[in-house]
Amino acid sequence: MTDWFHRNHLKATAKYNFDVGAVAKDLSCKTLCSDAAKRRVELLKLISDPSVPCEAVITSLNRYLQLLMGFILATDNKTPYSKLRGLVCVKWCDSIKPKGEPIVRSDSIFELYSILFNVALWYTKHAAKVASNENVSEDEAKDVHLSLKTAAGLFNLLRTKYMHEFTEFVPNSDMDPNILDAYINQSLAEAQEITVARAIELKHKPHLIAGLANETAKFYEKSGLALTQCNPKIVGKWKKYSEFKQFCYESYAYVYYGEDLLENGKAGQAVAILKEASTPYEKAVRAAREYTKVEGVSLSTKPPDHCFFRRLPGLIQRAHNKCERDNGLIYHQKVPSVAPFLEIKAEYGIAAPKEPELNFELDPRWKDAYVGFDTSKVVENILSNSKNPKHHTQSGTKDEPVEPVREMPIFSTDKDPKNDSGCVIS
């Protein structure tokens, strides 16, 4: 099994020590800041490994959130946000431009946004890691499915709640709503793929499989449409991946829709539909060929070499031959010159975003420590840092280097699964 999922890089960030200078007046404040820095390092180290259990990542994330939210939420509930929000000055690269110019913000919500974004990316990589095993158990398949829905849930949370907090729109970045839409729909589509493979393996009714495959294709289509709004030199490869998967699942939908029509005695229409199945397959082949040539970022992905796709032309041919044979021997129906429109929907089994159990409640220490911050010096601190970045007391500013994340590689087995779907996570 070769790599089937397109993956972008984790977001890289500069080291940040939460050193807020004279704003922190007493030891309790400095202790909170020191603990926040340690928990940030622990979380970033943890998500560089896709094999880590989900529970460990969420636990580490929540531990960090409890301290970070103190710089975001007002402890007295009299204002929407804390007066400390601008103290946290961090630098982050984009997942789609790992070697591009980093974005620097004095904004705790930008840090929250970037951290949640990276954890969402980790969930997609964790899913790919589990799916790369030669023999995937039912529990592991459920883990993959849930991880992808969780990734979609986190991306959706950023899209609906936190993106609107930024006054500056940054196109072709992780702060671009089109990029988030692409990630959301891709994550849901990949979760949907598991449902399709499972339905094929359990030999469910062709009508159900066709509907699920069609809905999967639509998710990928939405992902690709979102990417058309972005710079093709940055997302060109990613967009071709979406097109490849869209046409692949459209072709599967045609095959099983043809079988469904034949089961219902509509052999003539079935023949027409199965003739049409070759069209999206050929488009998928072209998209796969272009995927290797276009510009863009990707981590060693070869989706056209996967058994699930390599079995498709044979599946089309066998289904087409069966329909033609049955129509010639039994039904004797006229084959329409135009194939019926693929009007088929899945009645259930559609993947939906699922947020993990996040803890945004403040660490109890914040209640007493907050008064130890001199909020009257916050603006002065921010202005001083922006004017003199080279003499900045904090790490994570313009002069702080950003090292690429050393991600643990994901190795896949080259053995084809011995099942009907051609997918190891069915």
Q: Are residues 86 and 150 in the same domain?
A: yes
Is there a domain that residue 423 lies in? no
DSSP codes, 350-375:
-----------SPPTTHHHHGGGB-G
> In this structure, what token pair is assigned to residue 376?
């009257």
Longest dimension (CA), the chain: 89
Task: Dump pLDDT digits (tens) for 99-121.
Answer: 889 999 999 999 999 999 999 99
Is there a domain that residue 350 lies in? no
| Residues contacting 34, CB < 8 A, separation 6+ | 17, 18
Q: Are residues 74 and 158 in the same domain?
A: yes
Q: How many domains in the chain?
A: 2
Residue found under tokens 């084809």? 416
Q: Give the residues across from 288 on adjacent strands.
A: none
Q: Are residues 242 and 115 in the same domain?
A: no
User: Residue 136 belongs to what domain range?
Assistant: 8-175+359-408
Q: Are residues 168 and 238 in the same domain?
A: no
Task: Dump pLDDT digits (tens) for 160-202.
Answer: 999 999 988 899 999 999 999 999 999 999 999 999 999 999 9
Please, what's the b/e burial string for 133-163 (b: 16 or more CB within 10 A of its CB; e: otherwise)? beebeeeebebbbbbbbbbbbbbbbbbeebe
Is there a domain that residue 110 lies in? yes
| Residues contacting 337, CB < 8 A, separation 6+ | 272
What's the pTM value of the predicted model, to 2 decimals? 0.93
Is there a domain that residue 349 lies in? no
CA distances from 168 to 164, 176, 356 (A): 10, 10, 28
Q: Are residues 159 and 208 in the same domain?
A: no
- For residue 74, count CB atoms less than 10 angstroms from its CB and return exposed for 0-12, middle for 13-18, buried for 19 or more: middle
Mean per-residue pLDDT for 403-407? Answer: 88
User: Which pLDDT value is given to residue 141?
Assistant: 93
| Residues contacting 363, CB < 8 A, separation 6+ | 32, 66, 67, 70
Is there a domain that residue 263 lies in? yes
Calpha distance 300→204 (Å, rounded): 33
Task: Dump pLDDT digits (tens) for 222-262.
Answer: 999 999 999 999 999 999 999 999 999 999 999 999 999 99
CATH number for the domain that contains residue 230: 1.25.40.280
Calpha distance 15→90 (Å, rounded): 8
Q: Are residues 147 and 239 in the same domain?
A: no
**Does the pLDDT at position 393 exceed 80?**
no
